[in-house]
Amino acid sequence: MLTGDMETIGVLMTCLPPHPYLVEQLEKRFTLHKLHLIPDKAQFFSTHRAAIRAVVGNSTAGADAELIDQLPNLEIVSSFSVGLDKIDLAKCKERGIRVTNTPDVLTDDVADLAIGLMLAVLRRLCESDRYVRSGLWKKGDYKLTTKFTGKRVGIIGLGRIGMAIAKRAEAFNCPISYFARTEKTDVPYKYHPSVTELAANCDILVVACALTQETRHIVNREVLDALGPKGVLINIGRGPHVDEPELVAALVEGRLGGAGIDVFENEPHVPEELFGLENVVLLPHVGSGTEETRKEMADLVLGNLEAHFLNKPLLTPVVSLDDLSSVHAPGATTRGPLQDLQPSKPEFLKTHGQDIRAVVCNPVVGVYAQLIDLLPNLEIVATCSVGVDKIDLSKCEEKGIKVTNTPDVLTDEVAELEVGLELSVFRKICACDGYVRSGRWKKDGDVALTTKLTGKTVGIVGLGWIGSAIAKESSVVVFHLSSKRETRHIVGYKVIDALGPKGILINIGRGAHIDEPALVSALLQGRVGGAGLDAYENEPQIPKELFGLDNVVLSPHVGSDTVQTSTAMGDLAVANLEAHFNKKPLLTPVVFIRKHSQPNNMNPKGVLMTSPLFTYLEQELEARFNIFKLFHQPSKPEFLKTHQQDIRAVVCDPAFGVDAQLIDQLPNLEIVATCSVGVDRIDLSKCEEKGIRVTNTPDVLTDDVADLAVGLMLSVLRKICACDGYVRGGRWKKDGDFALTTKLTGKTVGIVGLGRIGSAIAKRAAAFSCPISYHSRSEKPNSNYKYYSNIIDLARNSEILVVACSLTEETRHIISDKVIDALGPKGILINIGRGAHIDEPALVSALLQGRLGGAGLDVYENEPEVPKELFRLDNVVLLPHVGSDTIETSNAMGDLVIANLEAHFNKQPLLTPVLGS
């Protein structure tokens, strides 16, 4: 309880009021002076200097040496921020003035926003929202964007906020690496000893360190160039961390792929050159700008002041700066292999690029187009591996560069390791070893019985050299084949479930051959018997859930790592280089295989496209089939009448399907392949009646749609698009700070439909500490999430409701007035399913009347028509049906469409049948 004496203590607020609650409480408990309202500051200090014993500031205005010198009785500076760069800490230490800040409470908000910026930049959420609101969608689809899941995320500063960002990014299967003053021994992430090296090895670079003299302009031209024209920079640290003119130049010149920026060097001034760029998202320093967090920060400021004046321990004293306070300047000496001995790779390559005629690499660090372009005289690339998936073969072929690998020499070792993994999993050799070492044999008795290997049926995926060697030596499911787009995630849910609860999976190929989350889920749920793994999707990161299982053996990619084989591989690499430079035949050349080496018998098959498809798929179809483009024809009935006998397949998308009328006009139609998961635009009854096979493209778009759902949650709650418009419109400078928004972390998320996409959304949302519940036709026996049999109950118990189910007659308008009212005026609705899932007039009415808190919509009832009443609302984000529209996923969908058509015409089983097998 404050005494009357405390109410006379003078507190000077040097910043603009950061939150009404803080001002109200300070005025109630102390004598508060607001510096920004004082016209004659010299007179004020002359009169009140002796009475002021505390200063409250923030990240914009704190307490510099000049201010401190004017306050002889100053005892404490309490900052409404984590950062302390606006406080002269040396002067405070000299004077014995205590300093506090507000750590931890804003960690979640800033980390949430960092992920929101990544999604907003890569998926162009704000630009897409503007595209819809401006009516451009009616003139054509929005362009393809870039996938987030799986991108390599590099973090500068692995403190509280950096760790929180890493945790969230991991849920999107992003490999994490970092730079800090020193390497951390208690984290599983890869450490880089320089910022430039980190930037060169990531797709997204996040600035999350404290601002000090050492970290000022830590992101400079060298770092930006290392990040490159496909890289994205995210800054949620401080504006001066980035050399802003260099950032602007890199973006304008196309040397950097994009940026998400919440902080600037001279706030609220933002470089106007950025306003016209669509590959940037500009926010008005709202990292911790949510109602929930600002109140917690205010309570912490108040609590520290009260603790000080009541002679109690401070809640959050500043003992030292963040763990990056003495961070090395960019370009610090690196360590590691030859290439890493160069402190500045761009400078090194600029100096020596003309001299380099050969590159030697390994399966981890390969040779990409960017490096090849920097080496004008490069003649040969020699890799110490069999796999060449880390080498840009297209670029090598284009420039006439030879490529060699090291086959055969590692066959025996990899085959031996595979058999060892089989034995180790079945006989639990490693678990038995641990049982003995821990003394449990003596204490607990004999170990449990294991399983026999001899006589087990073995299936081998990929019967090359290694597969053949395994077949000779072993008697279980073994996995070894080359890594390419067609084999990525070849082992998915269906394969794992077919293997079953007694089956064992061995992977000595590449990590990306296996859908790792699907494998982890199957192992945890007992749907597969065990696994022996030597390769992982995001090496050296391994799913932590596996560490507690004794039916898995985890090997750190050592398939060929014996002294003998490493020496033999080295000899082969050297021999290939010598052969090349002595103009002799290469020992193990990699033959370039043309992409379109398809059987000639494909070409006569007539395939009808009902609508324009993305360029990649159209090119692939034209290379293989006789294509008819219905959408180009002024008279469709006449066109179909002329060509109906020739058309044996239809390829469609979710917007333009295949109805009964079209089917009846195509007497020789055999198969319909849709570039979507949903098949609600295809008349399945008519297809079944006529024996027409139907395929879709499941799985490949799961990650993109789940990413977008989270992006919509963050964009609606944190008003990312409205903030971006606020900055671009010059309002930050004119009208002051943007209004506070709402926190995502900890919100209860209800999901309608817990299939592949719903489960992927749940996994991501859980990384934001969101409790998950769901509604579906029936309860999922293997799910740990709370189940509601009634969707109204789900809505009533959710703060965010996500629609992720398929569209059927039962789910049409599943989101009704009653569901919306149950969600309530603080609830958020996200729809990445189908437009017809929602009663659209009811939704519009609820938003206009304030009966619903907000909405993130990617789909609508009558696309591309969007209710115009929504265009003026800033609590909605409107996207033009871009759920799976990334370049990566579109290409994967295209590959699946082609593969299904080829399988059909070659009389092989379909890969993803909806009707027919």
Same domain? 641 vs 758: no
Same domain, 661 and 607: yes
Q: Please tell me the predicted confidence (pLDDT) of residue 539.
A: 77
- What is the C-alpha separation between 412 and 560, in angstroms, rounded? 8
CATH number of domain containing 761 = 3.40.50.720
Which among 100, 319, 330, 62 is positioned nearest to 207, based on CA atoms? 330
Q: Is the pLDDT of residue 461 over 90?
A: no
Does residue 343 lie in a domain region? no
Q: Residues 97-123: what's their mean pLDDT?
A: 95
Span 26-46, average pLDDT: 94
Cβ atoms within 10 Å, residue 790 = 11
For the record, the structure tokens of 134 come out as: 């401006």
Residues 897 and 857 occupy one common structural domain: no
Quote the tokens at residue 414.
């990899």
Q: Is residue 573 part of a domain?
A: no
**Number of folded domains in the chain?**
6
As annotated, the active-site residues are 238, 267, 285
Does residue 604 have a cis bond before it (omega within 30 degrees)? no
| pLDDT class of 456 with cuts at 50, 70, 90 | confident
pLDDT tops 90 at residue 262: yes
| Strand ranges for 779-865 from DSSP E | 786-787, 800-803, 828-831, 854-857
The residue among 34 and 446 whose pLDDT is bigger is: 34
Do both 821 and 784 map to the same domain? yes
Question: pLDDT tens for residues 334-364?
Answer: 223 333 445 557 778 888 889 999 999 987 7
pLDDT confidence of 67, banded at 50, 70, 90? very high
Residue 321 in this model has a pLDDT that exceeds 70: no
**Are 839 and 899 members of one domain?**
no
- Size of the chain in residues: 917
Q: Does residue 665 form part of some domain?
A: yes
List Cβ neighbours of 643 (8 Å cut-off, separation of 6 or more).
Answer: 606, 628
Average pLDDT over residues 694-706: 92
Q: What pLDDT sits at residue 427?
A: 67
- Per-residue confidence (pLDDT) for residue 782, from 0 to 100: 86
Does a structural domain hold residue 28? yes
Looking at the structure, do residues 378 and 526 belong to the same domain, yes or no? no
Per-residue model confidence as pLDDT tens digits over 396-434: 888 999 999 887 776 666 666 666 766 676 666 777 666
Question: Rounded mean pLDDT of the chain?
Answer: 87
Average pLDDT over every residue of 321-331: 31
Is the predicted pLDDT of residue 329 greater than 60, yes or no? no
| pLDDT exceeds 80 at position 596 | no
pLDDT for 465 equals: 44
* Shared-domain flag, residues 696 and 801: no
Least confident range of 413-427, 459-473, 555-569: 459-473
* Alpha-carbon torsion angle 746, 749, 755, 759, nearest 10: 0
d(CA 334, CA 192): 8
How far are the Cα atoms of 444, 495, 893 from residue 504, in angstroms, in the given order? 28, 12, 29
CA distance 735 to 718: 19
Check whether residue 617 and residue 727 sit in a common domain: no
- pLDDT tens digits along 364-377: 777 888 889 889 99
pLDDT at 598: 45
* pLDDT tens, position by position, 634-689: 888 999 999 999 999 999 988 788 999 999 999 999 999 999 888 988 999 999 99
Which range among 392-401, 422-431, 484-493, 511-520 shows the weakest confidence by mean pLDDT?
Answer: 422-431
Q: Which two tokens stand for residue 541?
A: 């990161």
Q: Are residues 738 and 688 in the same domain?
A: no
In degrees, rounded to 5, the angle at the alpha carbon of residue 563 between the alpha carbons of residues 557 and 566 is: 65
Q: Are residues 526 and 492 in the same domain?
A: yes
User: Are residues 301 and 363 located together in one domain of the fold?
Assistant: no
Give a yes or no: residue 94 inside a domain. yes
Among 268-272, 296-300, 525-529, 788-792, whose mean pLDDT is lowest?
525-529
Q: Give the mean model confidence (pLDDT) for residues 231-236.
A: 98
Task: Say whether both 97 and 123 belong to one domain.
Answer: no
Instruction: State which residues form the domain around 146.
Output: 107-282
- As a whole number of angstroms, the distance between CA 774 and CA 713 comes to 17
How many C-beta atoms lie closer than 10 Å to residue 400's C-beta? Answer: 8
